[in-house]
Structure 1
Amino acid sequence: MEEFLKQNYFLLTYSVEFLAAVIGLILFKKYSHVAAKFLIYFLVFAFFIDLLHSYPQYLKSLNKFDLIEGTLIEKNYWLSNILWFGGVVCFLFYVNYKISSNPRFRIALKYCFITYVILFVLYGIFNFDLLFTTLNSFVAVLSLWMILVCSSVFYVEILQSNLIFQFYKSIYFYINTCFLLWSILIVPIVFYEIYFSTADWNFVILKWQIYLSVNIIFYLTLSIALICCKPETK
């Protein structure tokens, strides 16, 4: 199992992400007039971000690593800290803001998002180097907080409406649930990132097993939701 993961982890991850992105693009016309189309944008974005995530390995294989060696982008952590966590929050906020029909909830979402952006920017200004040298626990927890806010607003609003009787038919239910569970399962691992080294293969394999399992469930669930759910105009 360990040897299999060492050789195939990235292939399996890219494959499930590619499958979700392709399914989204095939079904884009179905959702082109509703907010759920931004899920398809996100799936394509996520696939290319993960491909870009391996740029240190690409450069090493081409004997061009010296181009970034000793620079801030020598490691790929900035992609996760800035583009991934930031991208997830922006996507989930925008979708829930668009579909919310409660003015108070929309205001709450807007001000929470503004607070998130301010804290993110201030942290980046005063801890600029940390965004490039390791997976950042502050950014991860801050993003988890905003994801909790977005999902909570959706759940409360759906509980207060007639949609509660058919919540399982809503693609927005699967979007919020998948992103919330993904964050809850993945963010705690960030605190143990210091152990992510070939000097400790036990942790590396454990992390890959968790990431792969969560990502497969995450992307397959969203893919099935895109196929089975109907577009909602709200």
Structure 2
Amino acid sequence: MDEFLKENYALITYSVEFFAFLAGLISYRKYKTTPARIIVYFLGFAFVVDLIGRYPHFLWQMDLFHLIEGTLIERNYWWYTIFWWCGLSFFVYYINHQIVQNIKFKRIIRLAYYLYLLQVILALVFRFEYLFKPDERIIKIASLWIVMLNIIIYFFETLNSERIIRFYKSLYFYFNTAIFIWVLIMIPMDFFEAYFNPEDWNYVLFKWKIYLSLNIFLYLTISSALIFCAPENKLLFSNGRT
């Protein structure tokens, strides 16, 4: 099993991500007039970001690694910090800002996201060098709190509206739940990246197994929800307005 994982980890990860994106494309027509279409964009974005993020490996295979060797972008930490964590935060914010109907909640989400952007900008200005190291914390922690805030507000509004009766049929419920669980586990794991040693295969394989399990859970949950859920009637979102 471990040998199989060593040889096929990237292929399995990309296959799961591509399957989810394909499911989104197949389902896009029924969601194209709803905020759920943004979830399809998210799946495409995630696949492209993860694929490009493998650039050190691709350059190594093409004997071109010397082009980036010794530079700040020799490792791909900066790429995932900017495009994955900041991108995930944007999509979670944008989707929930669209579906949350309480005006006060919408205002809180919007102001919180502006605060998040300020944190990111300050981190880039004053801690720019940490962007290229595995021990970057500020942006990841900021991404954690903004994602969690958006999802908690969505859950809170759902619990206090008639939508709670049909929550199990909601694509947004499955999307937010999957992201919530994924982030809760992934952020602590990501903090251990500073201790990553490519020679320690016990740790590498342990990390890969957790990452792969989380990604399979995330993408299969979202893709299944896209396929089996139906577009939600706009009237379902009329409750809770103030």
TM-score bracket for the superposition, by shorter chain length: over 0.9
Instruction: Give the Cα–Cα distance (whole angstroms) in 1 for the partners of residues 123 and 102 of structure 2.
Output: 32
Task: List alignment gaps of at least 5 residues for structure 1.
Answer: none
Query: In structure 1, how many angstroms separate the alpha carbons of the residues matched to 2:136 and 2:174?
Result: 27
Spell out the pairing of 1:74-223 with structure 2 (5 A cutoff).
74-134=74-134, 136-223=136-223
SS at match of 1:27: helix
Distance in 2 (CA, whole Å) between partners of 1:192 and 1:99 is: 35
TM superposition shift of 1:135? 5.4
Q: Would you say how many aligned residue pairs link Structure 1 and Structure 2?
A: 234
Any conservation in 2 of the 1:100–1:106 contact (CA below 8 Å)?
A: yes
Compute the displacement of 1:133 (Å): 2.3
**TM-score of the aligned structures, taking structure 2 as reference length:** 0.94
User: In 2, Cα distance between the equivalents of 1:180 and 1:79?
Assistant: 22
Question: What amino acid is the match of 1:99?
Answer: I
What amino acid does structure 1 have at the position aligned with 2:144? L
Partner of 1:197, secondary structure, is: coil
Offset of 1:25 from its aligned partner? 0.7
Pairing of 1:1-80 with structure 2 (within 5 A): 1-80=1-80
How far, CA to CA, are the matches of 2:136 and 2:179 in structure 1? 19
- Alpha-carbon distance between aligned partners in 1 of 2:77 and 2:152, rounded to the nearest angstrom: 29
TM-score (norm 1): 0.97
| Cα distance in 2, alignment partners of residues 122 and 147 from structure 1 | 19
The amino acid across from 1:149 in the alignment is: L
The share of aligned pairs that are identical, in percent, is 44
Is the contact between residue 31 and residue 231 of structure 1 (CA under 8 Å) also seen in structure 2? yes
| Aligned alpha-carbon RMSD (Å) | 1.1
3-state SS of the aligned residue for 1:152? Answer: helix
**Is this contact kept in 2: 1:80–1:135, CA < 8 A?**
no
- Structure 2 counterpart SS, 1:134: coil
Gaps of 5+ in 2: 238-242
SS at the partner of 2:34? coil
Q: Report runs of 4+ in structure 1 exceeding 4 Å deviation.
A: none
Q: Deviations over 1:62-102 (max 9, x none)?
A: 11112222222111111210100001100010011111111
Measure the CA separation in 1 of the matches of 2:170 and 2:135.
33
